[in-house]
Homo-oligomer: A and B are copies of this chain.
Amino acid sequence: MAKVLVVFSSDYGNTQKMADAFKAGVETVPGAIATLRHAEEVTQDEVVAHDALIVGSPVHMGSPDWKVKQFIDKVCSPLWMKNRMIGKVGGVFCTGSGYGNGGGGAELTLLALLNNLAELGLILIPLPKNTEGYAVGGLQWGPYGRSAGTHMEQVGVLPESLKTSMHHGANIARAVQAIEGKTIFVGET
């Protein structure tokens, strides 16, 4: 089994599309299921009930949407206090307009999310360069859905970004299954 929770916010539907692709990717792995939740509706119980947490956000001013940070602070922080998330699996993704032909804050957004997941004690799954679609939709930390072309003409999230998201969802489901039942972290209780 592998129960994967995908938590995200979306302004215009691009991040939602990426989240849908993650779900589809997770569910290509036999025995794995994914649940999607908006950042504003997810509960502590839901987070704890899953084996993996994937967080996605649009890039806002070079960092995650405040609603995603609210989820981290209100829902995840109490679980951090109680060491309830340690040893689960984590992954991240984001979308953005692509200012500067370089992401316009995508890396720092992914990093901020990954940092939150590291605090929780999640095993972090990166996105390897040989993943299908990586050249267009992959950064080292996770999939990036760029919504504009070189000169900022709006094109929407490209198919490669969705493809990469599918593969990353499957990667994360396989990671959950690989470590299922194993104890990796030995900590104080």
Interfacial residues, chain A to chain B (CB-CB below 8 A): 60-66, 69-70, 72-74, 76-77, 80, 83, 86-87, 96, 98-108, 111-112, 115-132, 134-141, 144, 146, 149-152, 158, 160-161, 167, 170-171, 174-175, 177-179, 182-189
Q: Are B186 and A140 in contact (CB under 8 A)?
A: no
Q: Are B128 and A86 in contact (CB under 8 A)?
A: yes
Q: Are B60 and A64 in contact (CB under 8 A)?
A: no
A179 to B184, CA, bound (A): 10
Q: Are B188 and A184 in contact (CB under 8 A)?
A: no
A80 to B113, CA, bound (A): 23
Identical chains in the assembly? 4
A82 to chain B minimum Cβ distance, whole angstroms, is 10
Q: Are A144 and B102 in contact (CB under 8 A)?
A: yes
Q: Are B174 and A136 in contact (CB under 8 A)?
A: no
A87 to B130, CA, bound (A): 11
The 3 closest A-B pairs by CB, nearest first: A130-B187, A102-B103, A121-B128
A74 to B86, CA, bound (A): 33
Q: Are B99 and A134 in contact (CB under 8 A)?
A: yes
Q: Are B60 and A77 in contact (CB under 8 A)?
A: yes
Q: Are A77 and B106 in contact (CB under 8 A)?
A: no
- Which of A74, A137, A139 has most B Cβ within 10 Å? A139
